[in-house]
Amino acid sequence: MEGLTVSDRIVLTGLRARGRHGVYDFEREQGQDFVVDVVLEIDLDKAAATDDVADTVHYGELAERLVAVITGEPVNLIETLAGRLAEACLSDPRVAAAEVTVHKPQAPIPHDFADVAVTLRRDRSHTASKAGTLDQDRERGSR
Protein backbone atom coordinates (compact mmCIF):
# COMPACT_ATOMS: atom_id res chain seq x y z
CA MET A 1 0.00 0.00 0.00
CA GLU A 2 3.01 2.28 0.41
CA GLY A 3 3.16 4.93 -2.30
CA LEU A 4 -0.37 4.04 -3.38
CA THR A 5 -2.69 6.96 -4.03
CA VAL A 6 -6.21 6.06 -3.04
CA SER A 7 -9.06 8.23 -4.25
CA ASP A 8 -11.92 5.92 -3.27
CA ARG A 9 -13.75 6.76 -0.06
CA ILE A 10 -16.34 5.39 2.31
CA VAL A 11 -18.11 8.13 4.25
CA LEU A 12 -20.15 7.72 7.44
CA THR A 13 -21.65 10.92 8.84
CA GLY A 14 -23.76 11.82 11.82
CA LEU A 15 -23.05 8.73 13.92
CA ARG A 16 -24.44 9.65 17.33
CA ALA A 17 -23.68 7.98 20.66
CA ARG A 18 -23.64 9.00 24.31
CA GLY A 19 -20.26 9.24 25.96
CA ARG A 20 -18.78 10.52 29.20
CA HIS A 21 -15.86 12.51 27.80
CA GLY A 22 -14.78 15.90 29.07
CA VAL A 23 -12.59 17.67 31.58
CA TYR A 24 -15.40 18.46 34.02
CA ASP A 25 -16.80 16.00 36.56
CA PHE A 26 -20.39 16.71 35.51
CA GLU A 27 -19.54 15.74 31.91
CA ARG A 28 -18.27 12.39 33.15
CA GLU A 29 -21.27 11.89 35.46
CA GLN A 30 -24.09 13.00 33.17
CA GLY A 31 -22.60 12.15 29.79
CA GLN A 32 -23.60 13.82 26.55
CA ASP A 33 -24.10 13.09 22.89
CA PHE A 34 -21.15 13.00 20.53
CA VAL A 35 -21.58 13.01 16.77
CA VAL A 36 -18.90 11.48 14.57
CA ASP A 37 -18.15 11.73 10.87
CA VAL A 38 -15.53 9.50 9.25
CA VAL A 39 -14.06 9.35 5.79
CA LEU A 40 -12.09 6.22 4.96
CA GLU A 41 -9.66 6.20 2.06
CA ILE A 42 -9.72 2.69 0.64
CA ASP A 43 -9.23 0.98 -2.69
CA LEU A 44 -12.71 -0.15 -3.69
CA ASP A 45 -11.78 -1.80 -7.00
CA LYS A 46 -12.15 -5.36 -5.71
CA ALA A 47 -15.48 -4.69 -3.99
CA ALA A 48 -16.83 -3.00 -7.11
CA ALA A 49 -15.80 -5.98 -9.23
CA THR A 50 -16.98 -8.78 -6.91
CA ASP A 51 -20.08 -7.13 -5.41
CA ASP A 52 -19.12 -8.87 -2.16
CA VAL A 53 -19.30 -7.07 1.20
CA ALA A 54 -16.31 -9.12 2.37
CA ASP A 55 -14.16 -7.12 -0.06
CA THR A 56 -14.87 -3.77 1.56
CA VAL A 57 -15.30 -2.19 4.98
CA HIS A 58 -18.73 -3.14 6.25
CA TYR A 59 -20.07 0.22 7.40
CA GLY A 60 -22.44 -1.38 9.92
CA GLU A 61 -19.52 -3.11 11.61
CA LEU A 62 -17.49 0.10 11.40
CA ALA A 63 -20.31 1.97 13.16
CA GLU A 64 -20.35 -0.66 15.92
CA ARG A 65 -16.58 -0.28 16.49
CA LEU A 66 -16.86 3.51 16.60
CA VAL A 67 -19.82 3.48 19.01
CA ALA A 68 -17.84 1.14 21.29
CA VAL A 69 -15.06 3.76 21.42
CA ILE A 70 -17.47 6.66 22.02
CA THR A 71 -19.33 4.83 24.80
CA GLY A 72 -16.15 3.30 26.20
CA GLU A 73 -13.39 4.59 28.46
CA PRO A 74 -13.79 8.35 29.05
CA VAL A 75 -11.10 10.80 27.98
CA ASN A 76 -10.67 14.48 28.75
CA LEU A 77 -10.31 15.81 25.21
CA ILE A 78 -12.24 15.24 22.02
CA GLU A 79 -8.84 15.33 20.32
CA THR A 80 -7.99 12.12 22.19
CA LEU A 81 -11.36 10.62 21.32
CA ALA A 82 -10.81 11.47 17.63
CA GLY A 83 -7.40 9.77 17.75
CA ARG A 84 -8.90 6.61 19.23
CA LEU A 85 -11.63 6.60 16.59
CA ALA A 86 -9.02 6.98 13.84
CA GLU A 87 -7.12 4.01 15.29
CA ALA A 88 -10.33 1.97 15.18
CA CYS A 89 -10.77 2.89 11.51
CA LEU A 90 -7.18 1.97 10.68
CA SER A 91 -7.52 -1.38 12.46
CA ASP A 92 -8.79 -2.67 9.10
CA PRO A 93 -5.63 -3.15 7.01
CA ARG A 94 -7.47 -2.17 3.81
CA VAL A 95 -7.99 1.38 5.07
CA ALA A 96 -5.17 3.61 3.81
CA ALA A 97 -6.24 6.70 5.77
CA ALA A 98 -9.07 7.96 7.94
CA GLU A 99 -10.40 11.44 8.55
CA VAL A 100 -12.41 11.70 11.75
CA THR A 101 -14.50 14.61 12.97
CA VAL A 102 -15.87 14.55 16.51
CA HIS A 103 -18.68 17.00 17.21
CA LYS A 104 -19.53 17.97 20.77
CA PRO A 105 -22.77 19.94 20.32
CA GLN A 106 -23.49 20.10 24.07
CA ALA A 107 -20.02 21.34 25.08
CA PRO A 108 -20.06 23.36 28.31
CA ILE A 109 -19.77 26.80 26.72
CA PRO A 110 -21.79 29.58 28.40
CA HIS A 111 -22.76 31.17 25.05
CA ASP A 112 -25.02 30.28 22.16
CA PHE A 113 -23.17 28.13 19.64
CA ALA A 114 -24.03 25.54 17.04
CA ASP A 115 -21.19 23.06 17.44
CA VAL A 116 -17.66 22.39 18.60
CA ALA A 117 -15.70 19.92 16.52
CA VAL A 118 -12.22 18.52 16.08
CA THR A 119 -11.06 16.94 12.82
CA LEU A 120 -7.95 14.87 12.36
CA ARG A 121 -6.59 12.73 9.57
CA ARG A 122 -4.41 9.69 10.12
CA ASP A 123 -2.81 7.34 7.64
CA ARG A 124 -0.63 4.27 7.85
CA SER A 125 2.61 6.30 7.73
CA HIS A 126 1.45 8.39 10.73
CA THR A 127 0.62 5.23 12.66
CA ALA A 128 4.03 3.71 11.87
CA SER A 129 5.96 6.88 12.79
CA LYS A 130 3.95 7.23 16.01
CA ALA A 131 4.81 3.64 16.97
CA GLY A 132 8.49 4.38 16.37
CA THR A 133 8.31 7.51 18.53
CA LEU A 134 6.58 5.59 21.33
CA ASP A 135 9.29 2.91 21.17
CA GLN A 136 11.97 5.62 21.44
CA ASP A 137 10.14 7.22 24.38
CA ARG A 138 9.96 3.84 26.14
CA GLU A 139 13.70 3.28 25.61
CA ARG A 140 14.50 6.69 27.06
CA GLY A 141 12.27 5.98 30.05
CA SER A 142 14.00 2.70 30.80
CA ARG A 143 17.48 4.21 30.89
Q: How many CA atoms lie within 13 A of 92 on its CB side?
A: 23
Annotated active-site residue in 53, 104, 118, 125? 104
| Residue 98, helix vs strand vs coil | strand
CB 88 within 8 A of CB 100: no
Q: Are strands 9-19 and 95-103 parallel, antiparallel or unpaired?
A: unpaired
Q: Would you say the C-alpha torsion 41, 46, 52, 55 has a positive or negative sign?
A: negative
The CA distance from 49 to 55, in Å, is 9
Rounded to the nearest 5 degrees, what angle is found at the Cα of 96, between the Cα atoms of 91 and 97?
A: 85
Separation CA 89–CA 66 (nearest Å):
8
For this structure, is 104 an active site residue?
A: yes
Q: Would you please indicate which residues are annotated as catalytic (active-site) residues?
A: 104
